[in-house]
Amino acid sequence: MKLPGVVYLCFWFTGSAAAQTPPPGRTAVLQVQNGILRTREGLQAFSDLEGKYSARNASLEKLQNDINALQEQLRKRGAAMSDDAQRKVARDIDRKSKALNYQAETTRAEYEQEQADLMQSLARKFHGIVEKYAKDKDIGIVVDIGNPQTPAFWWASALDLTNDVVKAYDAAYPAAVKPEH
């Protein structure tokens, strides 16, 4: 007469399985980084960042051109130069090359840090918009397909809500538009 216990156990498992059904909602995909970069605020912030570093990049290019000119001078007129003059030009090339490498590395590191900080700041706000949008549209899960670590290998384009979230972000965080000259 163990049958009633088995029946009870089956009802218990069925009841607990029903209690753990997933919340209603559908799946959607999003390209987070692409979306952040396409918001008005993201476009403006990264444009400003590029502008901030354009003068430093121009300075690095000038230094590289100076080095190239010295190398060309040494190549073309080196045989006619005295040993002292050749050593002086070679030292100038070496000194300027070291300065270029240091400045380029420093500029690159500072740019990458500012870029990462900017992306992190924008991502926090973007995440809030995605969460609200997903709840409003009854979406149960949003998968970042822009991340190569995401195990999604196929999706219907109708599931991609990147454009909709970018519009919602721009509405929630309007970027100040700089006047055109």
Domains within the chain, CATH numbers bracketed:
18-172 (3.30.910.20)
Average confidence (pLDDT) over 133-147: 87
pLDDT for residue 4: 45
Residue 114 pLDDT exceeds 70:
yes
CB within 8 A of 60, min separation 6: which ones? 100, 103, 104, 107
Give residue-wise pLDDT tens across range 87-107. 999 999 999 999 999 999 999
Contact by Cβ (8 Å): 133, 165: yes
Distance, in Å, from the CA atom of 165 to the CA atom of 162, rounded to the nearest integer, reads: 5
pLDDT for residue 180: 58
Contact by Cβ (8 Å): 152, 143: yes
Instruction: Write down the pTM of the prediction.
Output: 0.68
Share of the chain above pLDDT 90, in %: 56
Range of 19-28, 103-112, 159-168 with top mean pLDDT: 103-112
Residue 31 pLDDT exceeds 60:
yes
